[in-house]
């Protein structure tokens, strides 16, 4: 069982492969270990999105290496794992790819063993296989290559000659995969040709494979060094040598997805963002979750008293009008807390704004009587015009920031709207500082807003995080809004709204973003 300790005074270390970069390529066991640990020790080749699986309060220690410097020496990392475990901590050491393939896991595990510390090695999907696959290159092929060699290229030429027997490796297998060898590509190609590989042998280099920054270049052993220099191609990258590279022309798939190369900032509350996140991933983009709002039960005693009184008057309502999924979910939560049977609302007809709101009601066994073709409060009233009778009582379970157009118009028509705040919206806490780095470096391509409160809270959070002029920081980033009300709030705040779908749904938003990004790629 995960988490059992051999000694109560000692912790345990999980040496986990994070996979090649796409956070969904981590193994089930690896994700379990992230959720279990007290401390996570990770490097830059592990997707930062995996950190969302940490339990509350878990400590994060970054020990990543960059090409021009080491944040922490390997010997110090080894000792760090020992020290943390001796403190009784459960530690997850998260390493890119598979920890046993040039991941130096043996050194880490050996020192743990010397100190009597229990450890597990959790394999990961190696970049040697996954990265070529995402570039449309299978490393083996029935007609082209029945064997594979994985070779380190991250050494000086003299060390490469000591660790690689070029005369044996060059023709040993059908496909050669070099990891971390971009800076030595000329020397590698020279040695392969010198020891028998034809100069015309296809070569591919894939940088940041499986990620939004993935970039692929191809050539031959004779031409690849010049191509790399001309393209100013930088590490980290995987090098594939062999005829399997030619399969890319037919099998390229990831780079053909509509949102390939696009990182989308999602500002919705985390509880409501899953549909949007999944659709972004399905279209080949990378979602970056930055929830700027949180919802909770109202804290004001007067508000709670009004809510309870309105709910207790259940039999008197002719209509219940829901304008959001949150309104539905919190309404039913209050029914449970106040011990009110839904059948007490037997007189009320049910109306909803938007298909997602209607779906949320269906999950509670309620089918709506009225759903407008468009998804604003104004459209709901237009759809209901023939069914609204002066004097009817209308219950409006909403949030504290809901627009006033619905109750005001109902009053103007002679109806009796009863507004209750079943939840309140507050600015989110504990934001990821890495998002600022992405914004400053141009790593965010699209920002999505699903409500007016996400717009105002997002700008406020940037100010709280030290950004004096948020609008300047967001120049050049596409702003995508669901619905004209949200778009108007963004425009009033000074943002340039470039994407606004006609269909104010998640699917409509994704399709509009994909269409916009395709125009960027074809310019």
Catalytic residue from among 38, 43, 98, 478: 43
Q: Are 95 and 17 in contact (CB under 8 A)?
A: yes
- Residue in 504, 505, 340 with CA at minimum distance from that of residue 420: 340
- Residue in 30, 44, 518, 521 with CA at minimum distance from that of residue 258: 518
Contacts of 392 (CB under 8 A, 6+ apart): 318, 319, 415, 416
Cis before residue 520, ω within 30 degrees of 0?
no
Distance, in Å, from the CA atom of 313 to the CA atom of 303, rounded to the nearest integer, reads 16
- Residue in 150, 160, 147 with CA at minimum distance from that of residue 103: 150
User: Annotated catalytic, 180?
Assistant: yes
Catalytic residue from among 65, 257, 374, 413: 65
* Tokens representing residue 476 in the block: 């050049």
Residue with the two structure tokens 């780095």 = 437
Residue with the two structure tokens 């990543």 = 64
Distance, in Å, from the CA atom of 11 to the CA atom of 366, rounded to the nearest integer, reads 50
Distance, in Å, from the CA atom of 450 to the CA atom of 453, rounded to the nearest integer, reads 8
Distance, in Å, from the CA atom of 464 to the CA atom of 149, rounded to the nearest integer, reads 51
Distance between terminal CA atoms of the chain? 55
Q: Kindly write down the DSSP assignment for every residue of 238-300, as one continuous string.
A: EEEESGGGGGHHHH--GGGSTTTT-EEEE-S-GGG-HHHHHHHHHTT-EEEE---EEEE----
Contacts of 418 (CB under 8 A, 6+ apart): 310, 313, 317, 393, 394, 395, 396
* Tokens representing residue 110 in the block: 């050996």
Q: Are 206 and 135 in contact (CB under 8 A)?
A: yes
User: Annotated catalytic, 370?
Assistant: no
- Give the angle 73-75-78 at the CA atoms, nearest 5°: 115
The Cα-based distances of 353 to 209, 403, 406 in angstroms read 41, 13, 11
* Tokens representing residue 363 in the block: 């999950």
**What are the backbone angles phi and psi of residue 179, rounded to the nearest 5°?**
-105, 135
Residue with the two structure tokens 């709910």 = 311
Contacts of 200 (CB under 8 A, 6+ apart): 220, 221, 222
Name beta bridge partners: 203.
219, 241
Distance, in Å, from the CA atom of 477 to the CA atom of 290, rounded to the nearest integer, reads 15
User: Annotated active-site positions, please?
Assistant: 43, 65, 180
């Amino acid at each position: 069982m995960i988490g059992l300790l051999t000694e109560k005074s000692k912790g345990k270390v999980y040496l986990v492969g994070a996979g090649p970069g796409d956070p969904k390529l981590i193994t089930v066991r690896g994700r379990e270990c992230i959720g279990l640990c007290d401390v996570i020790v990770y490097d830059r080749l592990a997707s930062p999105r995996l950190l969302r699986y940490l339990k509350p309060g878990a400590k994060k220690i970054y020990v990543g290496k960059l090409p021009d410097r080491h944040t922490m020496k390997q010997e110090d990392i080894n000792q760090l794992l020992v020290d943390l475990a001796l403190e009784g901590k459960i530690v997850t050491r998260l390493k890119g790819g598979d920890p046993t393939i040039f991941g130096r896991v043996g050194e880490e595990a050996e020192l743990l063993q010397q100190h009597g510390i229990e450890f597990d090695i959790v394999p990961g999907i190696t970049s040697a296989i996954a990265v070529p696959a995402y570039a449309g290159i299978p490393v083996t092929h029935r007609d082209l290559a029945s064997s594979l060699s994985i070779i380190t290229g991250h050494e000086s030429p003299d060390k490469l000659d000591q660790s690689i027997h070029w005369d044996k490796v060059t023709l040993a297998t059908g496909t050669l995969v070099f990891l971390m060898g971009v800076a030595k590509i000329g020397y590698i190609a020279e040695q392969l040709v010198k020891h028998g590989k034809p100069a015309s042998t296809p070569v591919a280099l894939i940088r940041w494979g499986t990620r939004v920054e993935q970039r692929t270049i191809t050539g031959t052993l004779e031409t690849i060094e010049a191509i790399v220099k001309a393209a100013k191609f930088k590490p980290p990258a995987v090098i594939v040598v062999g005829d399997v590279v030619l399969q890319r022309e037919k099998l390229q798939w990831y780079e053909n997805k509509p949102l390939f190369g696009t990182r989308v900032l999602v500002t919705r509350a985390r509880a409501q963002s899953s549909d949007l996140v999944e659709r972004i991933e399905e279209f080949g983009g990378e979602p970056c979750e930055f929830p700027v709002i949180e919802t909770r039960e109202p804290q004001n005693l007067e508000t709670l008293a009004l809510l309870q009184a309105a709910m207790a008057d259940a039999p008197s309502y002719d209509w219940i009008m829901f304008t959001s999924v949150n309104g539905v979910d919190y309404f039913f939560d209050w029914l449970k807390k106040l011990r009110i049977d839904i059948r007490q609302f037997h007189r009320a007809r049910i109306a909803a704004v938007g298909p997602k709101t209607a779906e949320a009601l269906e999950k509670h066994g309620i089918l709506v009587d009225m759903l407008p073709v468009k998804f604003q409060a104004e459209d709901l009233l237009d759809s209901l015009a023939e069914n609204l009778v002066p004097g009817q009582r209308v219950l409006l379970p909403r949030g504290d920031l809901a627009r006033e157009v619905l109750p005001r118009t109902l009053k103007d028509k002679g109806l009796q709207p009863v507004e209750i705040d079943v939840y309140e919206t507050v600015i989110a806490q504990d934001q990821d500082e890495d998002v600022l780095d992405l914004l400053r470096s141009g790593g965010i391509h699209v920002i999505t807003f699903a409500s007016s409160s996400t717009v105002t809270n997002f700008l406020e959070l940037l100010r709280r995080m030290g950004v004096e002029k948020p609008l300047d920081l967001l120049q050049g980033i596409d702003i995508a809004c669901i619905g004209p009300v949200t778009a108007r709030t963004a425009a009033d705040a000074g943002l340039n709204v470039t994407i606004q779908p006609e269909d104010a749904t998640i699917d409509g938003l994704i399709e509009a973003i994909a269409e916009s990004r395709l125009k960027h790629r074809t310019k």
